[in-house]
Structure 1
Amino acid sequence: NLVYYKDVNGVVRGPLCEDEATSLLKADFFRSDHVFRVVDAAEKEQFSNIADLRSLNGFDTPFMKVKTEEGEKGEEKESIRVYK
């Protein structure tokens, strides 16, 4: 997964790998009102906030591939973009 985010000037930055994005999240870099745009391998889009991503993928690993009740989805997410 790749993570993109907007800085304070509105410029989209990235990509970051999952580990870098998770480190920034743990350092309170991202705010709770950020919206993440997730694009999967089939070009499907999903818009989520950090609370939704944490409920799907775990509190400590919100940027990992999306899990469902049946387990992990077959296709991995290609990118996650963060918008204010």
Structure 2
Amino acid sequence: MTTSIIALVVVLVLLAVAIYPKKSNTSQSSSGLPNPWDSSSLRVRQVREEADAIADEFRRKAEEAWRAELRQKASQLLADPK
């Protein structure tokens, strides 16, 4: 009985963490516009933006896969009749 209550609490906490939205990136300027006084060249900025976009996409896919695996494990723990 106690084990099932602990397992239920753990599953609920894990689901809450999985559902909670990620923090937004605060490294961008508050207006979202590029800084016109940036001394880096246009090509460097383009490469940096592309790298950031690729990193964001990879992070999104990794989080999506992690949440799917977490949901599967949680459903298995809830369905386990111990």
Of structures 1 and 2, the one with the larger relative CO (CA 8 A, separation 6+) is 2
Same-fold status (TM-score > 0.5): no
TM-score normalized with structure 2 length: 0.24
TM-score normalized with structure 1 length: 0.23
Q: Which has a greater percent of helix?
A: 2
Greater CA radius of gyration, 1 or 2? 2
Q: Which has a greater percent of strand?
A: 1
